[in-house]
Amino acid sequence: MPGLVFGADEAGRGPILGPMVIAVIGIDPDTADRLQALGVDDSKRFGSDAEGRQRREELAQQILGLVPACRVRRVEVEQIDHYTFRGQLNALERKVVLELLDALGATRNAQVICDGARLFAPLRAHFPRLEAIDKGESAHVAVAAASIVAKDARDRAFGVIAERYAAEFGPLRGGGYPNAATQRFLDAYEQRYGTLPPEARRSWGADKSANLSLF
């Protein structure tokens, strides 16, 4: 789609439970103005409580109704583990972003902005005008919109997991991140079943920072 600025971001890179979600959104100047008027901003600024999740959900629906181009991908635990055991989580993220940009018809000359300077800089080999920026959500509203859409999808995916285990283990708090609440759930599950739940990332002690791929 010519003339669009593409923004890319992810949600759920760090948790030990559940999928990661990556979104790429393409917008034109008119859409950028409309998204800014809605208050589209870095998804993390809305917080992790129920009110914040509700606001993100509302904004995500509005964003999806406004933007001319959007692709969202859930990256499941099995694929995350496959790459992370090899120290290739960064390569996985780059691979998915490239696939989403291709699905959106982004040309080699497209303007692309990705959240993560070191993570996404290698993609300039494919898109010379690509900007890889830390805190990219603050740099361009396309990235902020992608962050909200990705985080909302990740929130909903984790909500399904939490509901699945609520009756047996009680409320599943902590968002699936490595913290005391998540550890209590994992310990209780393992004590009862002798293994980790299928939604847990087995690779989460492996090196996730290696950068050995051309992606």
- Boundaries of domain holding 22: 5-193
Residue 205 lies in a domain: no
Q: How many domains does the chain have?
A: 1
Residue 61 sits in a domain whose CATH number is 3.30.420.10
What pLDDT does residue 209 have?
43
Q: How far is CA 135 from the centre of its chain?
A: 14
What pLDDT does residue 212 have?
38
- DSSP state string for 71-131: EEEEE-HHHHHHHHTTT-HHHHHHHHHHHHHHHTT--TT-EEEEE-HHHHGGGGGT-TT-E
Dihedral of alpha carbons 139, 142, 145, 146, sign: negative
How many whole angstroms separate alpha carbon 7 and alpha carbon 60? Answer: 15
Rounded to 5°, the CA angle 6-12-14 comes to 120
What pLDDT does residue 51 have?
83
Residue 207 lies in a domain: no
**Helix runs in the chain, H state only:** 29-38, 50-66, 77-84, 89-103, 117-120, 141-169, 180-193
Residue 187 lies in a domain: yes
pTM of the model: 0.91
What pLDDT does residue 39 have?
87
β-sheet bridge partners, residue 111: 5
Q: Which residues contact 13 (CB under 8 A, 6 or more apart)?
A: 20, 89, 93
Residue 206 lies in a domain: no
β-sheet bridge partners, residue 26: 6, 69
Residue 32 lies in a domain: yes
Q: What is the pLDDT along the chain (215 residues), one digit of tens a residue?
A: 568 999 999 999 999 999 999 999 999 999 999 999 998 876 677 777 788 789 899 999 999 999 999 999 999 999 999 999 999 999 999 999 999 999 999 999 999 999 999 999 999 999 999 999 998 888 899 999 999 999 999 999 999 999 999 999 999 998 999 999 999 999 999 999 999 999 999 998 654 444 433 33
What pLDDT does residue 27 have?
97
Residue 211 lies in a domain: no
Residue 214 lies in a domain: no
Residue 103 lies in a domain: yes
Identity at 13, one-letter amino acid code: R
What pLDDT does residue 108 have?
95
